[in-house]
Amino acid sequence: MQHNTLGVVHEFLRRSVQPGAFCIDATAGKGRDTALLCRLAGPEGRVLAFDIQPEAVEQTRTLLEAEGLQAEVHLDSHAHMDRYAQPETVDCVVFNFGRLPGGDPQIMTRADSSLAAIGAGLTLLKPGGVMAIALYYGGANGYEERDAVLAYVETLDPKRYTVLSCRWANRQGDPPLPVLIWKEG
């Protein structure tokens, strides 16, 4: 395992997502998480991916095609994922908040739509489902989204959700934070 946020998130997904799972990559970006979810869910599973940037949707589709993987990739906001799935039917939801690496630096996730998307994702999760968040912040992104997401997950009912938010204690700058959520069964 890589000792960084994506390594933690990917290890969590490998341990949590079973063949046949229904998964959502709410922020497709370059498609790496989408591809991982496709491999974990296998041919019997279903994966949806969302991004608001046509470039990201195209990169995701290109990666999936190159790897021989199938997913439903939508040019739409992560805040609208509940239009594509029914409540309590999803096994896993993944987010990478921040901006598309190498993309337009003016386009980034924002606290208002990200909080709406987390809420939608939690509603879609079935009991026993999981959510993984890689929270990129600082620089042009600032800290508003980070602070809003961390404050929001602290309010989740501990009888319904278990939330683990981590920070890198000895890393300089603004290292991304992994946030892992389990919906109780």
Cα–Cα distances in angstroms (integers) from residue 58 to residues 73, 81, 100, 115, 146, in the given order: 9, 19, 13, 25, 27
At 2, the pLDDT band (50, 70, 90 cuts) reads confident
For the full predicted model, state whether its pTM sits above 0.85: yes
| Alpha helical stretches, state H, 26-134 | 32-41, 54-67, 111-124
How is residue 153 written in tokens? Answer: 């997950």
At 155, the pLDDT band (50, 70, 90 cuts) reads very high
- Asked if pLDDT for residue 96 goes beyond 80, the answer is yes
Please name the residues in contact with 74: beta carbons below 8 A apart, sequence gap of 6 or more. Answer: 48, 49, 50, 51, 57, 84
The whole-chain average pLDDT of the chain stands at 94
pLDDT for the residue 90 = 98
Are 166 and 159 a contacting pair, CB within 8 Å?
Answer: no
Q: Which amino acid is at 49?
A: A
* CA dist., res. 182 & res. 180, Å (int): 7
